[in-house]
Chains A and B, each alone.
Chain A
Amino acid sequence: MREELHPLSDVNGKPPGTTSWDGSITEAGTEMRSYYGRPVIKEPVWTWEIPAYFFTGGLAGASAVLSTAAKLTGNEPLSKRALYIGAVADLVSPALLISDLGRPERFHHMLRVVKITSPMNVGSWVLLVSGGASNTAAVLELLGRLKPVKLLAGAVSSLAGPLLATYTGVLIADTAVPVWHEGRRELPWIFGASAMASAGAAASVFLRPEDAGPARRLAVAGVLAEGALMQLMEVRLGKIGEVYRQGAAGKLSWAAKGLATGGAALLARRGKRSRAALVLGGAMVCAGEMCLRWAVFKAGLQSARDPKYVVEPQRERADRRGTKATTKPDA
């Protein structure tokens, strides 16, 4: 028999206070309303190149710092490997970014303005400076010429590197995507820690145990810091943080944790003696960091797709503090 309609229910016969149009059940007594369950904001149109770039950009930025610091301690093998790794990552990065553009042939339009309100514009300039410097240093190292220029280029890239590794956190936080914007305090720190881990791990792959101490320490410290920061972000995100435990983002988060901690443990315990442990541990940490970037990316897409992550926090805020977005008649 057909269910009787409550006079204030939707036409599809649901009494108010239970389920929404899309059938998702919300907290007791409240009804999350949406327009046929359709997203309120647009899901980012970015494709695989963007999370891949978050990894390569971070790797490039942290490697530049590692290379300069290693040079100061006289660890030439580490310094050179970090320099080359960073230079290659700095070449791959713009290629990825240009490939993601809807109009790749117009990539240089990024550089027709300097615009502090656009993290992507600022990032383009940082990548240009950092990548230009690191590749100059790497080429001069290969040629063995112009040592002062090489040192200057190395210094520039190691100062720009940390900016390159962390600005991507601001880039995604400066959007209406709920888990990105609400994670704005942690994201640059998470990306910085992940970049440290990537640089240390990538250098470890190409080093003998007797030179790999600093690289291993960097990888382990990066993994520990990023794990703690991710945990902090999930807690501070509250309810919307659940996307990090669901769907693709959930699987990638687990893979990131497993690979990064496993690899870090291997580097810490066996890396002192075993070259094989350095290669395997380093590769595992790098894979883990790649998964972490992808988890953050996917979590953003998932939170943009479901209107409840946009509507519920805003509705709660509006009900608690009032909102100027709507003007109601005087009571």
Chain B
Amino acid sequence: MSVVETKRPDGWESYGDAQKERVGFFTDTSVCIGCKACEVACKEWNLIPEDGRVWTGESYDHTSQLGANTWRHVAFVEQRKPLQALLEAPPAPGDRTAPSAAPGGDGSTALRWLMESDVCKHCTHAACLDVCPTGSLFRTEFGTVVVQQDICNGCGYCVPACPFGVLDKRHLPATTDPPPAILGRKEDGRVWKCTLCYDRLKGGHEPACAKACPTKSIQFGPLEELRERADARLAKLSAEGWNGAQLYGRDPEDGVGGFGAFFLLLDDPEVYGLPPDPVVTTRDLPEMWSNMLAAAGAMLAGVAALTLFGSRR
């Protein structure tokens, strides 16, 4: 299991001639306006059932997190922080006449509202795909990760395996392919997540969210091209002094071999509810298997020794 070494999506090579260029998303949060067109387009196109309306009181966010019924999620973060880094030192607390509290010379204010459209990362080395016991999760010819709904038996292993908390089991009644009536269960019971609109890709279209995005915050395309575009964008924002600009998941050397869907963020990942240093846990699996074999051997020897030696009473 060479994980970081290959830098190619696990399973992608098996397509041979049918293999397509690896595609993905570059979500540039610096131009996101929080319109949620991506959330709506995703739900519409993928026929995702309505899962209730909740007022969270958390800025404009009412879907809260990715899950079985939310495959695009727009996060809203309100911060008392200038959008662009201040050129002079911050004033003493309480000094409301200081320039930073008023619009700065560059037109920025000290309050910023960050928005980020989150999505499945389509990892190069995807833990969900690795641990799936049925082979329901698979690598497509486009290098993306998709759940085959006719195979998934709802074991739930991928749910805690994902370092980003993307996948979840659908507890709503099944809209397609319902469970047999004899079991008396109505809920769908399978695991669902972003497919990067596999069906649209097959037809030569871009995913619904990217199509709907009015500001090109969500950009779809060949991953290599997106990475170049992201590098240029980061350099520009950095030159303009944007506060906290950073790419997330762009580097193929990271803990999951790089994301197929990566981001430009304006603060550290945890501020958006993303893990700051995610790793694919199957990276440690060879070590875990050999450790387990040692434990099993010790157990066999222990039970045998305690039974074979010593009194019967």
Contacts and interface: CB of A to CB of B under 8 A. Distances in A.
B278 A325 contact: yes
B90 interface: yes
A166 B297 CA distance: 10
Given A174-B131, A318-B277, A105 B296 contact: no
Contacts of B299: 62, 65, 162, 165-166, 192-193, 195-196
B160 A176 contact: yes
A45 B168 contact: yes
Interface stretch (B45-53, B132-140, B206-214): B132-140
A210 B312 contact: yes
Given A11-B80, A209-B313, A324-B251, A105 B179 contact: yes
Main SS class of interface, A: helix
B268 A326 contact: yes
Given A11-B79, A199-B303, A315 B311 contact: no
B133 A124 contact: yes
A106 B157 contact: no
Given A34-B273, A40-B273, A192-B296, A325 B312 contact: no
Interface in B244-260: 245-251, 253-255
B159 A7 contact: no
Contacts of B270: 32-35, 40, 307, 311, 315
Contacts of A83: none
Contacts of B35: none
Contact of A35 (B77, B93, B265): B77
B134 A113 contact: yes
Contact of B308 (A72, A221, A272): A72
A93 to B, nearest CB: 15
A168 B81 CA distance: 47
A44 interface: yes
A261 to B, nearest CB: 18
Contacts of A45: 156, 159, 168-169
B269 A326 contact: yes
Interface stretch (B23-31, B195-203, B281-289): B281-289
A124 to B, nearest CB: 6
Contacts of B108: none
B275 A310 contact: yes
A79 to B, nearest CB: 9
B94 A41 contact: no
B288 A170 contact: yes
Contact of B91 (A7, A159, A174): A7
Contacts, number: 332
Contacts of A46: 156
B134 A325 contact: no
A109 B165 contact: no
Interface stretch (B12-20, B36-44, B180-188, B217-225): B180-188
Nearest to B248: A326
B130 A318 contact: no
Interface of B: 1, 56, 58, 61, 64-65, 67, 75, 77-81, 90-91, 93-94, 96, 98, 100-101, 110-111, 127, 130-136, 151-157, 159-169, 179-180, 183, 185, 187-191, 234-235, 237-238, 245-251, 253-255, 265, 268-278, 281-282, 284-285, 287-289, 291-292, 295-300, 302-304, 306-308, 310-313
Given A9-B80, A323-B277, A324-B254, 6 more contacts: A40-B273, A175-B160, A184-B288, A200-B306, A209-B313, A325-B277
Interface of A: 4-11, 15, 32-36, 38-46, 62, 65-66, 69-70, 72-73, 75, 78, 100-107, 109-110, 112-113, 115-121, 124, 158-159, 161-163, 165-167, 169-171, 173-177, 180-181, 184-185, 188-189, 191-193, 195-196, 199-200, 209-214, 217-218, 221, 225, 272, 300, 304, 307, 310-311, 314-315, 317-318, 323-330
18 contacts: A5-B80, A7-B80, A7-B93, A40-B275, A44-B160, A66-B303, A72-B308, A101-B155, A110-B153, A113-B134, A162-B299, A166-B292, A175-B160, A184-B287, A184-B288, A217-B306, A325-B269, A327-B246
